[in-house]
């Protein structure tokens, strides 16, 4: 279980990016994080994994609180898939991209191989293991990027605009994959149709604060969406 309590993030230029955000992500839950550009969605995800420093508040997963001494363990448990897959794919072959985190964690090579192969099979992308990310489609890159974090056996998955750069077919494939993954998820996106298919709860941010937290059925109210700037 992931719990955020009164999260506040202030940029170095004194901009208040996220203010007093509190919610709990429960087991098996998929939360859509919605809001206009600049609402604080990406900032919040980066703060959860400790890439951005908290000005106030706490992040806690499985009774472990984010801090300087726990940040490495937190990042093993909470995995972030960036908006641009190229930020996570930088090795000569996809196999090595997926193996990177495991190797960096000190796993022996035979254990790394098992993790990589299990992850490739879980996402049905074994055919990509000996290919370069430079030769992949947008959908293939997205699946490979997800594989790089799944190989670390996280407890929670965070996604920043996962449908960016994807054509309709690739979006459908991604939606099917995410629905099959057993992990609790937070998905920051503008893609309302994708949210309706994948998520069961919606949190809307505006100016860094939560203005709505409820069922995905909220998205059926067009006037309400307009009032949120969506």
Kindly give the confidence (pLDDT) of every residue in the chain, 230 residues in length, as a single tens digit, with 9 standing for 90 and above.
Answer: 899 999 999 999 999 999 999 999 999 999 999 998 889 999 999 999 999 999 999 999 988 999 999 998 999 899 999 999 999 999 999 999 999 999 988 899 999 999 999 999 999 999 999 999 999 998 999 999 999 999 999 999 999 999 988 889 889 989 999 998 889 999 999 999 999 999 999 999 999 999 999 999 888 888 877 877 77
Residue in 165, 207, 200 with CA at minimum distance from that of residue 36: 207
- Distance, in Å, from the CA atom of 13 to the CA atom of 9, rounded to the nearest integer, reads 12
Beta strands in 99-225 (DSSP E): 156-160, 185-188, 201-206, 209-215
pTM of the model: 0.92
Contact assessment for residue 97 and residue 133, using Cβ atoms and an 8 Å cutoff? yes
- Distance, in Å, from the CA atom of 216 to the CA atom of 198, rounded to the nearest integer, reads 10
């Amino acid at each position: 279980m992931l719990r955020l309590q009164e999260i506040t993030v202030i940029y170095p230029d004194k901009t208040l990016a996220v203010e007093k955000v509190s919610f709990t992500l429960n087991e098996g839950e998929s939360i859509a994080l919605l809001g206009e550009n600049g609402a604080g969605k990406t900032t919040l995800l980066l703060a959860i994994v400790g890439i951005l420093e908290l000005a106030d508040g706490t992040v806690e997963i499985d009774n472990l609180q984010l801090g300087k001494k726990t940040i490495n363990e937190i990042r093993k448990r909470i995995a972030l898939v960036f908006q641009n897959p190229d930020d996570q794919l930088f090795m000569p072959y996809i196999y090595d991209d997926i193996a990177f985190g495991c190797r960096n964690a000190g796993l022996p090579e035979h254990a790394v191989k098992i993790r990589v192969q299990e992850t490739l099979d879980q996402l049905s992308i074994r055919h990509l293991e000996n290919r370069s990310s430079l030769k992949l489609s947008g959908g293939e890159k997205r699946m490979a990027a997800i594989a790089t974090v799944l190989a670390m056996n996280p407890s929670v998955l965070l996604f920043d605009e996962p449908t960016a750069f994807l054509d309709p077919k690739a979006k459908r494939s991604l939606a099917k994959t995410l629905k099959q993954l057993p992990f609790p998820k937070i998905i920051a996106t503008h893609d309302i149709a994708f949210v309706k298919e994948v998520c069961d709860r919606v949190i809307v941010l505006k100016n860094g604060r939560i203005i709505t937290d409820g069922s995905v059925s909220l998205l059926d109210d067009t006037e309400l969406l307009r009032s949120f700037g969506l």
